[in-house]
Amino acid sequence: MALILLLARTSEALISTATRSAPCIHAFVLPRRTTSVRCISISDTIERSTDVRLFSTTNFLQRPRGSASSSSSRAATTSATAFDPEQARLFEEERIIAVTFDDKPIKAISKRNGHRNQKGPPLHRAFSVFLFDTLGRLLLQKRAAAKITFPSTWTNTCCSHPLWTQAELGDDVQPNDPVLGCKRAAIRKLEQELGIPSSSLAPSDFTYMNRIHYISDSNPEWGEHEIDYIFLVRKDVELNPNLNEVSETRYVDPRELRGMIRRAEINRGVSREYLLAEEAAAGTQRVGGRGEGKVGEKRTEEEEVGPVQFTPWCRAIMEKWLFVWWSDVGEDAKALEKHRDVKRIFRIGRVDP
């Protein structure tokens, strides 16, 4: 019996010593269906993986203990045969830009490989457009149910990825101009998703505000890990939404958007009483959130009641910057200069839906 106890204590001591001395980083969060946790070294990550997953802090890598993303309620799509055919084609054929922690292009990867949670989505480049009309209203879109990541979720006007092409890398100008590349990609996607003619937009219409670096799960299998270029546009445009991409569009003013955000936060589990108290302290008026819905429709207050969900990147941008910027969106784009920070990458970290 004494021998057994001695062996057990020796084993515990060896395990404890090895745990303390082994250099490692938490390189990714394993899917929630997995019960084991793997700890790997930086060199192991570089040598064994073809994807790029280098981080500076664990804020990007692990969810706080005891918390769970609301995305866990969504079922993961595990087979390509379950995808919408057009979305599956884009997932396989389009090549996006894998980047370093400092946003330097590394290589082309498929959208599929860029969004897989199996090894942690590799860091890649993206853009987000917030388009305002000349009345000062922001155009939102609701992502189609066919979308593989974050389906049926409200988001900013357009959010997607520049492709690994000379034009969208910005490699056709000297010096290299990734901002110009992302603007070109945005013009392409605004036409593909919302039917806004590319001939009606120019790179000069886009005001580049900043970049954010975030990571988020859509479900256990798919997620996002992006350095996202944020653009503001003020322009009246014609819409002809692609229903495979967008199920609904809506123009909102600040008051209406705050109403949508409130319902989204309640949907995420934040108490209504807390939100009302927060608004009262900030001097924000409670609203119903009426806005423009499907073509030619006006939504009633009753129709507005119900769950609302925003994409994590859109929610992060709204919470941190959007309402501050909004007051200076107007005819004179120079009014936005004081808000721009084009050198820094804002490390937002993990954002749960």
**Euclidean distance between CA atoms 283 and 277, whole angstroms:** 10
Q: Residue 139: which of 149, 129, 126 has the closest Cα? A: 129
Rg for the chain, CA atoms, rounded: 22
> Alpha-carbon dihedral of residues 42, 48, 50, 56, nearest 10 degrees?
-10
Q: Exactly one of 159, 168, 191, 256 is catalytic; which is it?
A: 159
- Phi then psi for 247, rounded to 5 degrees? -95, -20
Active site residue 278: no
Of the candidates 193, 221, 224, 226, the residue annotated as catalytic is 226
* Residue 243: C-alpha distances to residues 89, 150, 246, 275 (Å): 16, 15, 5, 34
Q: Is 226 marked active-site?
A: yes
- Tell me the C-alpha distance between 160 and 54, whole Å: 22
What whole-number distance in Å separates Cα of residue 189 and Cα of residue 170?
Answer: 16
Catalytic residues: 159, 226
